[in-house]
Amino acid sequence: MRPLDEDDELVDAELVEGGELVRVGQPVGRPLVDQHTVLRPGQAIPTTEDDGPQYTERDLYLSEETAEALEEAEQEGSAPRRTAMRGFEAWCKEEGRVAIPCTTATYTEYGQHLMRRGLKVTTIKNYMSLIRTSMPAGKQPDNTLYLRLLAHYRGKNKRAVRRKEAFPITLPYLVPMMEKAEADGRPIGWRDAAMFAFGYRFLGRSVEDVNLDIEDLTITDTQVFVWLAEDKTHKGEEQTIVLHDRSDLNLVFRLRRWLTYLEDQGIATGPVFREVLRSGKVASPETRAMKATRRGDYLRPQTVNERVKFWFAAAGLTTDGRPVSSHSLRAGGATDLGVSGATDDELEDAGRWKRGSPIPRERYVRPAKDATRDLFSKVPVHSPTAADQAGAEVISGSDRPSGT
């Protein structure tokens, strides 16, 4: 075959008769190598002339079933990932930029956009990481320039580094919330009280709580056994967590009451915590048709957040300025354990944190102890005596020391 010269025309690759795939836009004889190519001694440099696999359409297309399953998996991505991508795609549309796959310039510019909004550094880092990993494989933007901008932003905006931890809902706050939720005897109150007691005792993230199925729970008179296929820390590692009941939580009673209510409506499998209608009935696909969500019968983590805020306020409780959220249940359980003398290992086991994680101690236990610790309590309270007052009168007037 003769070499190409400047008069030769390159054609795009296409599937030709017989189903053979012609490689796209490369001249015959061009080496097919890049920085990742590794050859063994005696191997020739691969080129388009080499006899290799002849791919057909069958090698390229997914089946309808696989394509639908893949689309469902992509749509059901984590709530934070969907939130990050929705914001990014909306911004790209306004700016006339391509969102997927985005260029490094677009990625960097969006990072600067988030900084102009004055977001916290941790929030920006989370959003940008989720956006970058949402790009197709091999087409992720370079984050070098964005990270350089973020470092500059961190240095100039001290408040952007500050993170507001969730207010810990410890037992003195949790019990009044549950009692308030149950006060009028409505099913939604039963659900919320069970959800709060479980969230506190399980020390779970809200998404873990709402993803539980009835089949994952085994309830005895004194314990609740929770089967987990995996969690954030233990990927691909199943666990069975044993929750012992206690008289202030009444976890067994509250869970059984809620599950009995579901059973009375013919629900014995599927999500533990579900939407309750104003009528008191559990929502079904038919009643949810006008506002269908990707989660179906499963509650959204945001719903837990909303219910925690609602009952905290309804119980007349106030915080020290830190925000109340669904994470407050996890923070409350960890705080109560820590201030009651739990060891680091016990805290990590209870909340399923990684061994050696500083999170339980530094975020929950230490702030609680610091809030009750007053070094100036060692200084006696000053209480003026009659003698002190007499001395003060002598100093006043002509006896006042010079220079005062």
pLDDT of 361 over the 90 cut: no
Q: Is the pLDDT of residue 28 over 80?
A: no
Nearest to 170 by CA among 203, 194, 195, 212: 203
Whether the pLDDT of residue 386 is over 70: the answer is no
Assign 388 a pLDDT band (cuts: 50, 70, 90).
Answer: low
What DSSP line would sit under 142-206, residue for residue? P-HHHHHHHHHHHHH-GGGT---PPPP--HHHHHHHHHHHHTT--HHHHHHHHHHHHHHHHT--H
Give SS3 for 231.
Answer: coil
H/E segment holding residue 25: none
Of 335 and 372, the structure prediction assigns the larger pLDDT to: 335
Average pLDDT, the chain: 82
CATH number corresponding to 171-283+297-368: 1.10.443.10
3-state class of 251 per DSSP? helix
pLDDT for res 328:
94
Percent residues over pLDDT 70 in the chain = 80
220 with 277: CB under 8 angstroms?
Answer: no
pLDDT value of position 18: 46
Residue 402: partners with Cβ closer than 8 Å, 6 or more residues away: none
Please tell me the predicted confidence (pLDDT) of residue 149.
Answer: 94
- Mean pLDDT in residue range 77-100: 89
The pair phi, psi for residue 383, each rounded to 5°, is -135, 105
Determine the pLDDT at residue 310: 96
pLDDT of residue 17: 45
Of residues 153 and 46, more confidence is placed in 153
Amino acid 228: pLDDT: 87
Domain ranges of the chain: 79-160, 171-283+297-368
pLDDT of 8 higher than 50: no
Q: Over the stretch 50-67, which tens digit does the pLDDT of each residue have?
A: 556 666 778 778 888 888
Question: How confident is residue 263, by pLDDT bands cut at 50, 70 and 90?
Answer: very high
Say yes or no to pLDDT of 315 above 90. yes
pLDDT reported for residue 288: 60
Confidence of residue 20 (pLDDT cuts 50, 70, 90): very low
- What DSSP state is assigned to residue 377? G
Rounded Cα distance between 329 and 351, Å, is 11
What's the confidence (pLDDT) of residue 1? 43
Residue 257: both structure tokens together: 């009451």
- CA 382 to each of CA 373, 377, 379, 385, 388: distance values in angstroms, whole numbers, following the listed order: 20, 12, 9, 9, 11
Residue 354 CA to residue 347 CA, distance in Å, equals 10
Confidence band of 11 (pLDDT split at 50, 70, 90): very low
Quote the CA–CA distance of 250 and 328 in Å, as a whole number.
Answer: 19
pLDDT greater than 80 at residue 5: no
Lowest mean pLDDT segment, chosen from 114-118, 169-173, 369-373: 369-373
Provide the CA 71 distance to its chain's centre, in angstroms.
Answer: 22
Give, in order, the Cα–Cα distances in Å from 214 to each of 146, 269, 273, 358.
44, 5, 9, 33
CA distance 340 to 76: 40
User: Is residue 24 pLDDT above 60, yes or no?
Assistant: no
pLDDT top residue among 179 and 365: 179
In this model, does residue 239 exceed pLDDT 90? no
Please name the helix (run of DSSP H) or strand (run of DSSP E) that holds residue 243, with its range, or none: strand 239-244
Specify the higher pLDDT residue, 13 or 76. Answer: 76
Q: Which residues of 372-387 are buried (b: 16+ CB within 10 A; e: fewer)?
A: eeeeeeeeeeeeeeee
Q: What is the pLDDT of residues 181-236, one digit of tens each?
A: 999 899 999 999 999 999 999 998 888 899 999 999 999 999 999 998 877 777 77
Does residue 4 carry a pLDDT above 50?
A: no
**pLDDT band at residue 21 under the 50/70/90 scheme:** very low
Could you tell me the pTM of the whole model? Answer: 0.64
Q: Would the pLDDT of 349 be above 90?
A: no
